[in-house]
Amino acid sequence: MEIGRSFRLLISYVVYLGGHSHGSQATLEDYKRVTDSHHEFLGSFLGSKEKAREEMFYSYTKHINGFAATLEEEEAKQISKHPEVISVFENTAKKLHTTRSWDLVAMERDGRVPPQSIWAQAKFGKDAIIANFDSGVWPESESFNDKGLGPVPSRWKGFCQNNTKEGVPCNRKLIGARYFFKGYESATGDKVVNGSARDTEGHGSHTLSTAAGRFVPGASIFGHANGTAKGGSPDARVAAYKVCWGGCYDADIISAFDAAIYDGVDVISLSLGGYPMLYLEDAVAIGSLHAVANGITVVCSAGNNGPYPASVTNVAPWIVTVGASTIDRDFLAFLTLGDKKQIKGESLASEVLPANKFYPLVSGADAKKANASASDASPVAYISAPETQLGVKPAPMMASFSSQGPNFVSPQILKPDITAPGVSILAAFTGATSATGLTLDNRYVPFNLMSGTSMSCPHVSGVAGLLKTLHPDWSPAAIRSAIMTTARSRDNTGSPMKAFDGLSKATPFDYGSGHIRPNRAMDPGLVFDLTLTDYLNFLCAIGYNSTDLAKFKKGYQCPTTPLKLEDLNYPSIAAPNVTRTLTVTRTMKNVGSLGTYKVRVEPPYGFTITVKPEILKFDKVGEEKVFEVTIKSQERSIGVGYLFGRLIWSDGNHYVRIPIVANAFA
Ligand SMILES: *[C@@H]1O[C@H](CO)[C@@H](O)[C@H](O)[C@H]1NC(C)=O
Ligand SMILES: *[C@@H]1O[C@H](CO)[C@@H](O)[C@H](O)[C@H]1NC(C)=O
Ligand SMILES: *[C@@H]1O[C@H](CO)[C@@H](O)[C@H](O)[C@H]1NC(C)=O
Ligand SMILES: *[C@@H]1O[C@H](CO)[C@@H](O)[C@H](O)[C@H]1NC(C)=O
C-alpha cells in the first residue's frame, strides 16, 4: 500500500518566530526572501521546499515573523522544539462577542456637542485611522459617508481589495477594506467564493460604526431609539479587516495584524476572543504585542461569559480590555393580563396591536406549531406599544453577560480594564440580512440594536482615536492610563455602580477602573506609562527566556532580577497573594500642568495601606516620580477572598484613581 499525502492526518497550525530584523524600509524583495526562508525552514521538516509550499498558506513577512501551515501533529511537535521557534499552536476559531451612549458619558447633551466636549477638542478624531477586525463592513451605510472629509492621509499604505460595487467600494471615510480567509479555509475545509470584506452578518458594520461612524440624523430601529447615530471618532478614517467567517481563525487574525501595522493604523478594535490562554500561543496577544510595539493602541472586548469569576479574556497587559454595562435607556412595554395584572418588559415591536383589546394566550411550546390556536376558554392578555424611556436610573450598571476578573492567566494584572456601554446599542447594520438574522423575517434595517462586550469595545476604540488626535505623542499605555484613571465607579444616582442584578455593588473585577469618562481622559494630569521593554520584562517574569524574546526585539536580555509581576507599571494594582505584607512600586509621568499631588487611600476592608511618599511635586511636564504602596493584611482580611479599595492622587484639579484588589493568605 502506498502511503500517500491523503493518508497524512493534517491539522492547521500557526508557527510563531518573533519579529523581523528588516525595518519599515523593507522592499518587496525582502518580503520574498522572508517567504523563501519560511519555505526553506518548513521544507527541512517536510522533506522538500515543494512540500512546504504546498502546506503553507500564510507567510507573515512584514512585522510579525511566522507562518501558518497544515501539518501532522508529530511535525508540529518537532518544529516547536527548533531553537528559532517561539511557539506552535493550532489555528482555532475565536468568536465574535455578540447613540444615546455618548450622552451618558457627557460628550453630548440632548444631541448637542458642548465646546468643552472631547469631540470638539479632538476635532472629532479627524487625524486618526481606526481599524476593525470583524465580519467586514457594509460600505453603503450612511455611517461611512465621506461628505466634507479631506484627502486620505498620505501616510496611509492600506488599500481596498475588490474596490468594486459588488465588493467594497471605498471612499475618503472608508479607506481600507481587506479580507483574510485562508485560516478559515484551512481549518474548516470550506471555500470562500467571491470573497470580499463585505459584511453579510451585521456585526462588523455595527462595531466599526460605533468606533467611528459619521453623524447620521434620523437613525432608529422601527422608530425606537430614534436620534442621530454616531461613533466615538466620527471624523476618523476607518479600515475594515474581515477575519470572521462565522468563526475568526488565528492564522487570519495574525495576517490582519501584520497588514494593519504595515498599513499605518492608529487603533485596532477587536470585538472577538477565545478562552484565556498563554500569551505567546494566542493570536490576539501576539498580534497586539507587535501592534503596541509600533505605537498602535489595541482595544478588545472582555468576553460575554459572565456573570462568572475568572471568565475575562483578552487579558494581555498590552491590551485595553473592555467590559460592558447598561445605558440609561429602556424600551418599556407592559403585558396586561385578563385580571388587569401588569408585567413590565421590553419590546422593539415594529407593529402594535390595536389598543386595549385582549387576545388569547398560547403557550410558547404550542406557538411553534404552524397550526397553533388557542380556545376562548384560555387566558387573555394585551401588550402595550413600546416606549423609549430615557434617563433610566440606576445607570450604568453591569451587564450580566460581561466577563469578569480575576485574570486567569496573570492574576497580578487586573482585568477588565474599563467598562463602556454595551447593552441595546444602536449602530449601522448590513443590508445582506434581516433585522433578526432569521430567514422568516423580511425587515431589512440600516441600523440595529445589539448587545455585548462587542459593542462596548468600539466605544473605547473611538475614544482612543480622539485621544490619539489630541495627543499624537502618547504611547498606547498612556492612552489606556488616561482612560482608566479618569473613569467613574458611581452611577447616575451617585451610588457605587451596581452589579448585573441591580442590587449588589459591582467591583473592579466587573468594571476594572470604572465607566469611561472621555472628557476627563483628555487631561488626566498623570499617566502610568509602559514601553515594549517593560512588556518583555513581564514576559521574562512569567517564564519566557532571553533567547525567545530576542527574536522579538534584537539584543533584548531578560533583567538579572526578574520583574515582580505586581510591579508592572499598570494603572491598577492587583495583589492575588498577600502573605502579611506586599510592597508594589509605580511610576507616574506628568502630562498636564505642574503641581503637587497628594494621595488619599481607601484601603480594602481589613487591610492597611501606606503610600510613600504621600506628596509628589512635579516641576516639569514629562517628569516621572516613583511611589511605593505597602499592603498589609490583618487577621480579618485573611482567607475571605478578594477585597477592594483604591488610591487617589490629586492636585485639586486632576484626580488619578487607581483601583486595588487584594487577597490575603495566612
Ligand atoms: C475579489 O477579488 C478576488 C481576487 O481577484 C476574486 O477571486 C473574488 O471573486 C472577488 N470578489 C468579488 C466579490 O468580486
Ligand atoms: C462569483 O462572481 C461571478 C462574477 O461576478 C459570478 O458569475 C458567479 O456566479 C459568482 N459565484 C458565486 C458562487 O456567487
Ligand atoms: C423621536 O420620536 C419621537 C416620537 O415620534 C419624537 O417625539 C421625537 O422628537 C423624536 N426624536 C428625535 C431626536 O427625532
Ligand atoms: C398540528 O400540526 C401537527 C404537526 O405539524 C399535528 O401533529 C397536529 O395533529 C396538528 N393539530 C391540529 C389540531 O391540526
The Cα–Cα gap between 323 and 304 comes to: 9
Residue 5 has pLDDT above 80, yes or no: no
> Can you give the pLDDT at residue 370?
65
The Cα–Cα gap between 300 and 442 comes to: 33
Which atom number of ligand 1 is nearest to the Cα of residue 167? 13
Once rounded to an integer, what is the mean pLDDT over residues 644-658?
A: 98
Residue 1 has pLDDT above 70, yes or no: no
416: preceding bond cis by omega (within 30 degrees): yes
Closest C-alpha to ligand 2, atom 14: 194
Residue pair 402/325 in contact (Cβ under 8 Å)? The answer is: yes
Residue 3 has pLDDT above 70, yes or no: no
Which atom number of ligand 2 is nearest to the Cα of residue 166? 5
Residue 100 has pLDDT above 70, yes or no: no
- Residue 219: CB partners within 8 Å, gap ≥ 6? 99, 225, 226, 227, 228, 229, 426, 446, 447
Residue 368 has pLDDT above 70, yes or no: no
Tell me which of 141, 288, 454, 475 is the catalytic residue. Answer: 454
Q: Is the CB of 368 under 6 A from ligand 4?
A: no
Q: Which residue has the higher pLDDT, 446 or 360?
A: 446
Residue pair 211/269 in contact (Cβ under 8 Å)? The answer is: yes
Q: What DSSP state is assigned to residue 148?
A: T
Once rounded to an integer, what is the mean pLDDT over residues 219-238?
A: 90
The Cα–Cα gap between 38 and 58 comes to: 10
Residue 369 has pLDDT above 80, yes or no: no
Let me know if 454 is a catalytic residue. Answer: yes
Closest to 428 in 3D by CA, of 219, 200, 149 = 219
Which sign, positive or negative, has the C-alpha torsion 591, 527, 267, 144? negative
Once rounded to an integer, what is the mean pLDDT over residues 217-241?
A: 91
Pocket test for ligand 2, best of 165, 193, 194, 200 (most atoms within 8 A of CB): 194
pLDDT tens-digit readout, 447-482: 998 999 999 999 999 999 999 999 999 999 999 999
Which atom number of ligand 2 is nearest to the Cα of residue 194? 1
Q: Is the CB of 357 under 6 A from ligand 4?
A: no
List, chain by chain if needed, residues with CB within 6 Å of any ligand 3 atom: 226-227
How close is the Cα of 376 to the center of ligand 4, in Å?
19
How close is the Cα of 440 to the center of ligand 4, in Å?
21
Once rounded to an integer, what is the mean pLDDT over residues 617-639?
A: 96
List, chain by chain if needed, residues with CB within 6 Å of any ligand 1 atom: 162, 164, 166-167, 194-196
How close is the Cα of 223 to the center of ligand 3, in Å?
8
The Cα–Cα gap between 626 and 622 comes to: 13
Which atom number of ligand 4 is nearest to the Cα of residue 372? 1
Q: Is the CB of 1 under 6 A from ligand 2?
A: no
Could you tell me whether strands 380-383 and 359-360 are parallel, antiparallel, or unpaired per DSSP bridges? antiparallel
Residue 366 has pLDDT above 80, yes or no: no
Tell me which of 203, 206, 224, 515 is the catalytic residue. Answer: 203
Residue 377 has pLDDT above 90, yes or no: no
How close is the Cα of 543 to the center of ligand 1, in Å?
44
Find how far residue 402's CA is from the centre of its chain: 12
In the three-class reduction of DSSP (H, G, I as helix; E, B as strand; rest coil), residue 132 is classed as: strand
> Can you give the pLDDT at residue 371?
67
Residue 254 has pLDDT above 60, yes or no: yes
> Can you give the pLDDT at residue 225?
82
Residue 278 has pLDDT above 70, yes or no: yes
Closest C-alpha to ligand 1, atom 8: 194
Q: Is the CB of 6 under 6 A from ligand 4?
A: no
Which of 8-17, 441-450, 543-552, 558-567 has the least mean pLDDT?
441-450
Residue pair 126/151 in contact (Cβ under 8 Å)? The answer is: no
How confident is residue 606, by pLDDT bands cut at 50, 70 and 90?
very high
> Can you give the pLDDT at residue 4?
47
Tell me which of 38, 63, 101, 134 is the catalytic residue. Answer: 134
The Cα–Cα gap between 181 and 95 comes to: 15
Q: For cell 512546504, name the residue.
A: 52
How close is the Cα of 359 to the center of ligand 4, in Å?
22
Percent of the chain with pLDDT over 70: 96
Mean pLDDT taken over the chain: 93
Closest to 198 in 3D by CA, of 267, 250, 141 = 141
Closest to 157 in 3D by CA, of 198, 126, 129, 135 = 129
Residue pair 574/661 in contact (Cβ under 8 Å)? The answer is: yes
Let me know if 203 is a catalytic residue. Answer: yes
How close is the Cα of 228 to the center of ligand 3, in Å?
11
How close is the Cα of 227 to the center of ligand 3, in Å?
7
Closest C-alpha to ligand 3, atom 5: 223
> Can you give the pLDDT at residue 624?
98
Once rounded to an integer, what is the mean pLDDT over residues 622-628?
A: 98
How confident is residue 101, by pLDDT bands cut at 50, 70 and 90?
low
Closest C-alpha to ligand 1, atom 6: 194
Say which amino acid occupies 40.
E
Let me know if 134 is a catalytic residue. Answer: yes
Longest dimension (CA), the chain: 82
Residue 378 has pLDDT above 90, yes or no: no
Residue 533 has pLDDT above 90, yes or no: yes
Buried b (16+ CB within 10 A) or exposed e, 443-481: eebbbbbbbbbbbbbbbbbbbbbbbbbbbeebbbbbbbb
How confident is residue 364, by pLDDT bands cut at 50, 70 and 90?
confident
pLDDT tens-digit readout, 400-413: 999 999 999 999 99
> Can you give the pLDDT at residue 331?
86
> Can you give the pLDDT at residue 350?
77
Which atom number of ligand 2 is nearest to the Cα of residue 193? 13
How confident is residue 102, by pLDDT bands cut at 50, 70 and 90?
low
Contacts 24+ apart (CB under 8 A), 653-656: 653/525, 653/593, 653/595, 654/523, 654/524, 654/525, 654/526, 654/592, 654/595, 654/597, 655/485, 655/486, 655/525, 656/485, 656/524, 656/525, 656/526, 656/588, 656/597
Closest to 453 in 3D by CA, of 502, 521, 512 = 512
Residue 512 has pLDDT above 70, yes or no: yes
pLDDT tens-digit readout, 7-65: 678 999 999 999 998 877 899 999 999 999 999 999 999 999 999 999 999 999 999 99
**Ligand number, closest to the Cα atom of 372:** 4
pLDDT tens-digit readout, 197-226: 999 999 999 999 999 999 999 888 888 888
